[in-house]
Structure 1
Amino acid sequence: MADQRKSLDKTRSPLKTKFVRSQKIMQPSPTDTRSEDIPEDSEPVHTKGPSRSQTPGHLSTKSTDKRKGSTSKDPRSRSQSQSQASTRSPIAGASVPKLPASINEGNGPITSPIAREGSPAGSAGLVVGERRPGVLRSTSAIAGKPISSTTTPLTTPKPPSQSKKIGNHAYFPPPPDTKEEHDVLPAPASGMYWSRAPTSGAPHTALRAHTTTAIGSNIYIFGGCDSRSCFDEVYVFDADAFYWSSPLVTGDIPVPLRAMTCTAVGKKLVVFGGGDGPIYYNDVYVLDTVNFRWSKPVISGTPPSKRRAHTACLYRNGIYVFGGGDGVRALNDVWRLDVSDVTKMSWKLISAPSSSTSSSPTGDRSDLKFRADREVKPKARGYHTANMVGSKLIIFGGSDGGECFRDVWVFDVDTLLWKSVNIPVSYPRLSHTATIVGSYLFVIGGHDGVEYSNEVMLLNLVNMQWDKRIIYGEPPSGRGYHGTVLHDSRLFVIGGFDGVTVFEDVYILELAVHAYYSQISHYTIDV
């Protein structure tokens, strides 16, 4: 018995070095890309040996011994053994089997079986030019198994959009070194204070003329452009954690857009208009922020003309759209999009443009509410701001392409009357932002007709007078075409453009004692 055990140990020991642990082929994530300066074939690629037997060790050894002891094999058995030997791990100097062309050919693009849903590439089955490693590698030291042409292709995750910024995940930055940071003047506890947000999370591109819309503590950023092209991406910025994320969206994804509007209706975002270069649109898209699915609903009624650089505000289940430009002229008409049911929306003209000769949007000349078209109106404009306070739509600034406006107008959506606000001292602005904080309108940045500004101006909506306050801290550089959102007594300024640089930073304006303005909710605008 002892001799038999020794013989078994002798026959078993050489096989220990040939056992290979079972493994899975690890799928690379969409963001797992190889650096451009490292060629994809720089690492040796090995194929996997025969899979480990599921029988107990001693039984497996005995069966191996039996196979070793077998000397009489028919031609079919020999051919099978030769095919098995060809799949074992190659020794040094052996050639690696060539992968099927369907997986990868050289360093060229991979034909992905899954494209982004709703995209042209997905509908037409086009090639997504995303660089991936030549062989799907495991994260362990054991090499992956090549996929044969007869193997069912693995289900790969959806590739990221080609317009997304490629980069590494940004971790939360460490606290700044007080010795290296330059001095910032101390601020009183009651003073407003600028600071740059220490953000982390997914990489995102620098943007201008994008939309920033808050739902809860999340700020949804859509579209916009940098110095080269426009985008159709959606980013989410957590205003509590200062964390960026890039969700995977599906459905009828809009085309790349800039200078469009995005309005929150419950948990949905309604996007209207916008353009890219010489192209203008008047389409409406809806994004469900619960499942991140885009849809393009069918809307009844006559739609507005194609436009961008307009504004849109929500009031009583209606989105009121004012102004903008269509590429030929500036506009000053007002439209209402009924969003009481986002699956059955409808358009209605509320206030016709100044050049219109029709007497009523419904064709009824006896409609007394339509007398607003016979009254004075603001000049046609775009890149202005609009804010809704009760039933009053407040319009400030903008441009018609030649003049930078400084006037303030109020449109009553109940009476359909325009009224001009007489303010002795005012300031021209375009491409700025305006945010309601209680009874004040906080105007940040923009262009004054000469240069980009980083000023913060407050319009008192009770007495309709401008006010400027001392703000401490380190302000952002002058910019326009940015986005501003109010959350938790802070104003978040995201992105923007100063004529040369497109920004990707986030600045915070701490309102301090001025945050109590938001508690002022009972006031009227009398003009």
Structure 2
Amino acid sequence: MWGGYGSGVHYDLMEVYHLPTGAWDQKATTGTPPPGTWGYSSKAIGKDIYYFGGFDGRYQNSLHCFNVDSFKWRKLSPSSSDHGPMKRRYSGMVSAHFDGEDYLVIIGGIGSSSINIPKQPDAQYINSYGDLRFTNNTAVMFGGETDIGRSNKLYMISFTKISVDILEVPNPGGSVQWPKGRWGHSSVLITTSSGPHLLVVGGYPAYDVWLLDINKRKWKELASIKL
């Protein structure tokens, strides 16, 4: 675990959690860490963790790589308004694999219009929708914050090397179970004998846990915390 918002955070240290013992440890890193210290996107490919964008008083669009064996940072692309994706925070990032090559795909986020490209008239803007989860070259995206408020929409985003296809899964309404709108939630992909499932936990202003059967496109509420 690295970075975050708060006082006393040491950005030259990596927080390491040891699963068998349940103990946390701090380990020093070398190299130059990303300038966007919170609200960044990250994705692991093998023994490398990639960090994009974020915020440190200014929006960023740099790309850095952290190796878990050497504990060393590498800057792959500097933060710049002249090239790369728009400067942003709270975007999602997934890895895709085509023809023996790895790719990083960045979706959504929030940034300043004064330092980025003008708005596209037909574009839909979303951020803080939890982690994108990826299965069979398809990303699963739920919820988030939009221009008109909190979303509870569910999207399947399929990738090829040259195209992107975005499918909104319709909410049947009525008595069918479906999570309410939220942002800042956590999600994890779970693979079982019956296929892939998406587990969604919390978010604002939710206090519940939901499980999505990705193949059947069906939600099930697992827990609700009454405050």
Report the TM-score range of the alignment, normalised by the length of the smaller protein.
Answer: 0.7 to 0.9
User: What code does the residue aligned with 2:220 have?
Assistant: D
Residue aligned with 2:39, SS: coil
Q: Report the equivalent of 2:18.
A: 238
Asked if residue 435 in structure 1 is aligned to residue 188 in structure 2, the reply is yes
Q: Are 2:208 and 2:223, in contact at CA under 8 Å, matched by a contact in 1?
A: no
Q: Are 2:35 and 2:60, in contact at CA under 8 Å, matched by a contact in 1?
A: no
Kindly provide the CA deviation profile for residues 114-155 of structure 1, in whole angstroms up to 9, marking residues without a partner as x. xxxxxxxxxxxxxxxxxxxxxxxxxxxxxxxxxxxxxxxxxx
Asked if residue 305 in structure 1 is aligned to residue 50 in structure 2, the reply is no
Q: Report the equivalent of 1:248.
A: 28
Q: Report the equivalent of 2:72.
A: 293
Structure 1 distance, partners of 2:152, 2:223, is 22
Q: How do 1:509-524 and structure 2 match up within 5 A?
A: none
Structure 1 distance, partners of 2:83, 2:138, is 25
- In the alignment, structure 2 segments of 5+ residues that lack a partner are 173-177
Structure 1 distance, partners of 2:139, 2:164, is 10
User: What code does the residue aligned with 1:467 have?
Assistant: K
Asked if residue 268 in structure 1 is aligned to residue 13 in structure 2, the reply is no
Residue aligned with 2:215, SS: coil
Q: Report the equivalent of 1:421.
A: 169
1:276 Cα deviation from its structure 2 partner: 2.1
User: What code does the residue aligned with 2:159 have?
Assistant: V
More helix, by proportion: 1
Structure 1 distance, partners of 2:137, 2:59, is 30
Question: Aligned to 2:105, which of 314, 317, 320?
Answer: 320
Residue aligned with 2:85, SS: coil
**How many correspondences in the alignment?**
206
User: What code does the residue aligned with 1:314 have?
Assistant: S
1:459 Cα deviation from its structure 2 partner: 1.1
1:395 Cα deviation from its structure 2 partner: 1.4
1:281 Cα deviation from its structure 2 partner: 0.4
Question: Aligned to 1:410, which of 145, 156, 176?
Answer: 156
Given the superposition, is the C-alpha separation of residues 470 and 426 from structure 1 closer, same or farther in structure 2, using an over 3 Å criterion?
closer
Given the superposition, is the C-alpha separation of residues 293 and 429 from structure 1 closer, same or farther in structure 2, using an over 3 Å criterion?
same
User: What code does the residue aligned with 1:293 have?
Assistant: K
Task: Please tell me the root mean square deviation across aligned C-alpha atoms, in Å.
Answer: 2.8
TM-score, normalised by the number of residues in structure 2: 0.80
Structure 1 distance, partners of 2:155, 2:197, is 15
Question: Aligned to 1:259, which of 34, 39, 46?
Answer: 39
Asked if residue 384 in structure 1 is aligned to residue 149 in structure 2, the reply is no
User: Which of the pair has more CA radius of gyration?
Assistant: 1
Given the superposition, is the C-alpha separation of residues 470 and 253 from structure 1 closer, same or farther in structure 2, using an over 3 Å criterion?
closer
Q: Are 2:64 and 2:77, in contact at CA under 8 Å, matched by a contact in 1?
A: no
Structure 1 distance, partners of 2:10, 2:35, is 8
Given the superposition, is the C-alpha separation of residues 456 and 298 from structure 1 closer, same or farther in structure 2, using an over 3 Å criterion?
closer
Residue aligned with 1:393, SS: strand
Q: Report the equivalent of 1:355.
A: 120
Structure 1 distance, partners of 2:179, 2:40, is 27
Given the superposition, is the C-alpha separation of residues 325 and 229 from structure 1 closer, same or farther in structure 2, using an over 3 Å criterion?
farther
Question: Aligned to 2:221, which of 458, 464, 468?
Answer: 468
Q: Are 1:231 and 1:256, in contact at CA under 8 Å, matched by a contact in 2?
A: no
TM-score, normalised by the number of residues in structure 1: 0.36
- In the alignment, structure 1 segments of 5+ residues that lack a partner are 1-220, 332-351, 357-375, 479-527
Q: How do 1:153-172 and structure 2 match up within 5 A?
A: none
Kindly provide the CA deviation profile for residues 300-342 of structure 1, in whole angstroms up to 9, marking residues without a partner as x. x94101110001011111111101011349x9xxxxxxxxxxx
Residue aligned with 1:247, SS: strand
Q: Are 1:260 and 1:271, in contact at CA under 8 Å, matched by a contact in 2?
A: yes
Runs of 4+ in 1 over 4 A off after TM superposition: 228-231
1:298 Cα deviation from its structure 2 partner: 4.6
User: What code does the residue aligned with 2:166 have?
Assistant: W
More strand, by proportion: 2
Given the superposition, is the C-alpha separation of residues 306 and 298 from structure 1 closer, same or farther in structure 2, using an over 3 Å criterion?
closer
Q: Are 1:230 and 1:257, in contact at CA under 8 Å, matched by a contact in 2?
A: no
User: What code does the residue aligned with 1:389 have?
Assistant: T
Of stretches 304-313 and 453-462 in structure 1, the one that deviates more from structure 2 is 453-462
Structure 2 distance, partners of 1:390, 1:254, is 30
Q: Which structure is richer in relative contact order (CA contacts within 8 A, separation 6 or more)?
A: 1
Residue aligned with 1:274, SS: strand
Given the superposition, is the C-alpha separation of residues 234 and 322 from structure 1 closer, same or farther in structure 2, using an over 3 Å criterion?
same
Q: How do 1:163-202 and structure 2 match up within 5 A?
A: none
Q: Are 2:48 and 2:68, in contact at CA under 8 Å, matched by a contact in 1?
A: yes
Percent of pairs identical after alignment? Answer: 20
Structure 1 distance, partners of 2:72, 2:159, is 32
Given the superposition, is the C-alpha separation of residues 229 and 321 from structure 1 closer, same or farther in structure 2, using an over 3 Å criterion?
farther
Structure 2 distance, partners of 1:305, 1:403, is 22
Q: Are 2:50 and 2:65, in contact at CA under 8 Å, matched by a contact in 1?
A: yes
Asked if residue 281 in structure 1 is aligned to residue 34 in structure 2, the reply is no
User: What code does the residue aligned with 1:262 have?
Assistant: S
